[in-house]
Chains A and B, each alone.
Chain A
């Protein structure tokens, strides 16, 4: 079976750093993806990790530990526009999503 666990909601201050954690269980692993979804919009691809370690992409970084079934998304220098849901997902032939973490950035 498959299971994704993330915190439901987080709040952080503009300019700060926030880490969104994700633990997963999957019968077929083909990498760990992070997506961003603004309210009323489609999810958009942020990052992909298939090997252990940290992948950095601008203000966003994503980390993976396959042995622990654990990933996190790190957002630096938070901006108001980063307020959105962040979806951790994995799967083999299709992506299995959880409900995501709704991040609210406050001034």
Chain B
């Protein structure tokens, strides 16, 4: 059983389109995150939800909107995709913010905007 699963694994789309990435965790964790890893491999926090409530919203364009229907799911919707959005997006979860057992990451979604 996959602990944190993301779909799709690969996403190729044209500029201007709207797309969604889904994430689900079956670990019973309370906190979920979205990270973006760019071509330089820099892993940057985008959003964090604790028990369906948004707790971190880093400086991310308004075109990115997270949604957490329940604490096991955190989806990411992106409007009007731009070339610079091309990256690998990782979902992660933890028991709580700053959990000493660390985060469990999903396998990533490689987004390519053409």
Spell out A's residues near B (CB within 8 Å). 30-31, 33, 35, 41-45, 48, 50, 85, 87, 91-100, 102
Contacts and interface: CB of A to CB of B under 8 A. Distances in A.
Interface of B: 33, 35, 40-45, 48, 55-56, 90, 97-98, 100-108
Given A43-B103, A97-B43, A99-B42, 11 more contacts: A31-B100, A35-B102, A43-B43, A45-B101, A50-B100, A92-B97, A93-B97, A94-B45, A94-B97, A100-B41, A100-B43
30 contacts: A30-B98, A31-B100, A33-B102, A41-B107, A41-B108, A42-B108, A43-B43, A43-B103, A44-B105, A45-B102, A45-B103, A48-B102, A91-B98, A92-B98, A93-B55, A93-B97, A93-B98, A94-B33, A94-B45, A94-B48, A96-B45, A97-B42, A97-B43, A97-B44, A98-B42, A99-B40, A99-B42, A100-B41, A100-B43, A102-B41
